[in-house]
């Protein structure tokens, strides 16, 4: 009490008004309450947890995997959190790799090739109190030297620049975004550790930000996009954003301008390629974020009602739901096809060669729409192949079809053609022909090529100009009745090419001489 009075006289803040963050109360919820089915847990994630615990560390399955398990869903990815440092984690596994700079984590790899599985392991992070952290202007890219000797730092706006400060589990939970993503599950004891009433929020179907939402968006503006993605994914289950979490979204959107373009590009792909593309676009519109997050995402939202774009978004959602792979190059090729086709047609009208016209149109679209993002080279190459392949599908004779099906990107190019046929941009018969061709043996393929050749011949024949009625009548009339003058008047071929019916083998006089001259 006396100390408080002295502090007031000296102008100091009272100790009871400490700025220390509240880290929540630890609750251990048993299996009889949370009801998680152990059969839904990936055995490789269990192996990682067991290995870390056997080495004397704490370890839990964490984040979205716990949320999905609580909801009775089978998670697609499993993350593990531990108090072991990245170096300590790496030393415990034969195939483990430390990745990241701003946020260092470890990828523990099981299996090889396409069947491999990655368990992501992160170290418990300390909660960064912006009011006490080092204040640094600029961003990580331009401030590397200034930040080199700092354990943690934020910029003047409150955005976290480095997040590799280890801390206890309760602080790690507080620095996570949503309450339903901040729970820890021990697959051995089957206990869920909850600091922020995430289980209750999951039961109420509420997405609630831990702490003050506006402050958390400033710390990491990408949380704005994550909020959209999570509500899009969970809205079919009845989840809604808490009002205090949703309210600062629009006014915080400008903070995304400070985020590296490559990171925004990756977050855009997560919105569109995690099985909830159409729902994500619906939420962007509903929350007032239809424009301004990322230029290319603006294009997707703007064209979402176009039949072709809507078809590819729906197809992407379907493939993800069926566990099939999806490629960003295919989806973006569909979204930007309208621009390519417009530029291509404009150049063809100006007399450009077909290939150069298409190539220039593609280059223009890349410069205007894709921008400078990580991995653009591979992305651009795949998109270009899909686009360049489209006019080649019209060539179904000779050896061209046999060479087409051997190309590495043929399947992507055909799927693109299939979508174009579905929306009526190309003839359905063309897509069906290629569907049959790729599924047939060589003998049947030869028959299909012969069929295409005959169809082409018939089209060329029907495209020839038809003769006028007078021309048809003149050809049907007897030639001797028309006579030489009549034939010239109707504009027929020269007399020497006419076959005249001669009733007599020979003639005399002037008439016979005239007939002989015409025969010659």
Question: Does 315 qualify as catalytic in the annotation?
Answer: no
140: tokens are 């990580």
Q: Which of 342-346, 402-406, 439-443, 454-458 shows the lowest mean pLDDT across its residues?
A: 454-458
Average pLDDT of the segment spanning 422-433: 94
**Interacting residues of 124 by C-beta distance below 8 A, sequence separation 6+:** 58, 81, 82, 83, 166, 167, 168, 169, 171, 172
- Cβ proximity of 119 and 48 under 8 Å: yes
481 confidence band (pLDDT: 50, 70, 90):
very low
Average pLDDT of the segment spanning 489-499: 44
Q: How far apart are CA 301 and CA 305, in angstroms?
A: 8
Q: Which of 52, 69, 79, 106 shows the shortest CA–CA distance to 191?
A: 69
Radius of gyration, CA atoms only, the chain: 36
Average pLDDT of the segment spanning 443-461: 90
**Highest-confidence range of 1-15, 262-276, 373-387, 473-487, by mean pLDDT?**
262-276
Question: Does 77 qualify as catalytic in the annotation?
Answer: yes
Q: Which of 52-61, 225-234, 503-512 shows the lowest mean pLDDT across its residues?
A: 503-512
Instruction: For 124-166, write each residue's pLDDT tens digit.
Output: 998 765 444 443 333 333 334 444 444 444 444 445 545 567 8
Would you tell me the crossing angle of helices 261-272 and 223-234 to the nearest 10 degrees?
Answer: 0
Q: Considering the candidates 68, 79, 163, 317, report the single residue annotated as catalytic.
A: 79
Judging by DSSP bridges, how do beta strands 79-82 and 117-123 pair with one another? parallel
Q: Which of 249, 211, 43 shows the shortest CA–CA distance to 130?
A: 211
Amino acid 516: pLDDT:
37
Average pLDDT of the segment spanning 446-459: 91
Q: Considering the candidates 7, 47, 77, 298, report the single residue annotated as catalytic.
A: 77
pTM here? Answer: 0.74
Amino acid 377: pLDDT:
75
Amino acid 150: pLDDT:
46
Q: Answer whether residue 243 shows pLDDT above 50.
A: yes
Q: Which of 26-40, 59-73, 428-442, 481-495 shows the lowest mean pLDDT across its residues?
A: 481-495
34: tokens are 């949370």
Mapping DSSP onto H, E and C, the string for 2-41 reads HHHHHHHHCCCCCHHHCCCCCCCCCEEECHHHHCCCHHHC
- Cβ proximity of 121 and 134 under 8 Å: no
378: tokens are 């591979």
Amino acid 10: pLDDT:
53
Q: Considering the candidates 155, 177, 201, 317, report the single residue annotated as catalytic.
A: 177
Q: Which of 252, 260, 259 shows the shortest CA–CA distance to 287?
A: 252
Name the helix (H) or strand (E) containing 258.
Answer: none
Q: Answer whether residue 496 shows pLDDT above 60.
A: no
């Amino acid at each position: 009490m006396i100390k408080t009075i002295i502090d007031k006289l000296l102008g100091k803040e009272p100790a009871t008004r400490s700025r220390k963050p509240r880290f929540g109360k630890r609750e251990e919820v048993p299996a009889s309450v949370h009801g998680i089915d152990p059969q839904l847990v990936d055995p490789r994630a269990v192996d990682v947890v067991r290995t870390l615990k056997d080495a004397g560390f704490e370890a839990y399955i964490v984040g979205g995997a716990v949320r999905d398990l609580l909801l009775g869903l089978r998670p697609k990815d499993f993350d593990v959190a531990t108090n072991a440092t990245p170096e300590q984690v790496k030393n415990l596994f034969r195939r483990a790799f430390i990745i990241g700079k701003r946020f260092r984590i470890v990828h523990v790899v099981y299996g090889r090739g396409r069947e491999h599985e990655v368990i992501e392991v992160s170290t418990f992070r300390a909660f960064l109190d912006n009011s006490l952290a080092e204040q640094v202007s600029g961003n990580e890219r331009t401030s590397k030297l200034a930040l080199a000797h700092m354990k943690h730092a934020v910029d003047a706006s409150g955005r976290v620049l480095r997040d590799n400060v280890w801390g206890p589990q309760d602080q790690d939970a507080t620095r996570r975004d949503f309450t339903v993503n901040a729970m820890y599950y021990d697959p051995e004891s089957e206990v869920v550790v909850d600091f922020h009433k995430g289980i209750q929020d999951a039961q109420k179907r509420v997405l609630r930000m831990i702490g003050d939402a506006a402050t958390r968006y400033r710390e990491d503006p990408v949380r704005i996009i994550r909020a959209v993605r999570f509500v899009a994914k969970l809205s079919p289950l009845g989840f809604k954003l808490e009002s205090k979490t949703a309210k600062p979204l629009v006014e915080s959107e400008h903070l995304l301008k400070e985020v590296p373009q490559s990171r925004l590009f990756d977050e855009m792909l997560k919105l569109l390629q995690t099985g909830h593309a159409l729902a994500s676009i619906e939420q962007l519109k509903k929350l007032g974020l239809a424009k301004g997050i990322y230029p290319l995402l603006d294009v997707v939202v703007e064209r979402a009602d176009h039949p072709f774009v809507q078809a590819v978004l729906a197809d992407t959602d379907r493939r993800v739901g069926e566990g099939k792979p999806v490629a960003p190059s295919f989806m973006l090729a569909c979204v930007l096809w309208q621009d390519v086709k417009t530029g291509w047609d404009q150049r063809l009208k100006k007399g450009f060669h077909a290939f150069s016209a298409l190539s220039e149109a593609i280059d223009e679209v890349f410069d205007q729409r894709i921008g400078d993002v990580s991995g653009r080279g591979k992305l651009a190459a795949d998109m270009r192949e899909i686009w360049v392949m489209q006019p080649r599908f019209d060539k179904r004779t000779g050896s061209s079809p046999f060479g087409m099906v051997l190309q590495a990107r043929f399947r992507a190019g055909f799927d693109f053609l299939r979508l174009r046929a579905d929306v009526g941009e190309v003839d359905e018969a063309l897509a069906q022909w290629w569907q049959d061709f790729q599924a047939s043996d060589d003998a049947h393929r030869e028959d299909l090529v012969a069929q295409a050749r005959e169809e082409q011949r018939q089209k060329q024949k029907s495209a020839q100009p038809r003769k006028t009625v007078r021309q048809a009548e003149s050809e049907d009339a007897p030639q001797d009745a028309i006579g030489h003058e009549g034939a010239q008047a109707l504009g027929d071929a020269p007399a020497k090419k006419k076959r005249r019916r001669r009733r007599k083998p020979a003639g005399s006089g002037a008439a016979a001489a005239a007939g002989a001259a015409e025969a010659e």
